[in-house]
Amino acid sequence: MDIHSSTSEFDALPRDEVLELLVQCISQLPPTQKTILALYYHEDLEPAEIAACVGLTEGELDQVRGETVGLLRTMLAAQIRPLVGIRYRGAHHSTLARPSEPGYQMAGQKKADLTKK
């Protein structure tokens, strides 16, 4: 499963951390969904073989797999967003605040730029 297919919050953390969070998300799935993902992405079985193993038609398998991947993206993003926010705020010096607060500094913006109006 390519969770890094486009620029997103998934790119804000090192890949190994994202994969660790993904494993946690997968562990929360029902057994059938875990089996489908394992057979499809890890074992590289053909959809017809996977469908026979889990008792679904190929169409049902495709639907369940797609929904499961979407669910995993949502679950993973929900775990990553707070981490990215914490790391982003902590990665810059102490004058960084929310955009609506005095002292807010965007990345690359010089302190002198903040006093100009």
| pLDDT for 8 | 62
Give the tens place of pLDDT for each residue, 52-85.
Answer: 999 999 999 999 999 999 999 999 988 888 877 7
| pLDDT for 12 | 75
Give the tens place of pLDDT for each residue, 24-59.
Answer: 999 999 999 999 999 999 999 999 999 999 999 999
Residue 39: both structure tokens together: 């057979």
Give the mean model confidence (pLDDT) for residues 76-104. 57
| pLDDT for 43 | 95
Residue-number span of the structural domain to which 74 is assigned: 9-115
Residue 76 belongs to domain with CATH number:
1.10.10.10
Candidates 101, 74, 84; CA nearest to 13 is: 84
Candidates 38, 70, 31, 40; CA nearest to 58 is: 40
Q: Does residue 3 form part of some domain?
A: no
Q: Does residue 97 form part of some domain?
A: yes
Q: Does residue 2 form part of some domain?
A: no
- Domains: count for the chain: 1
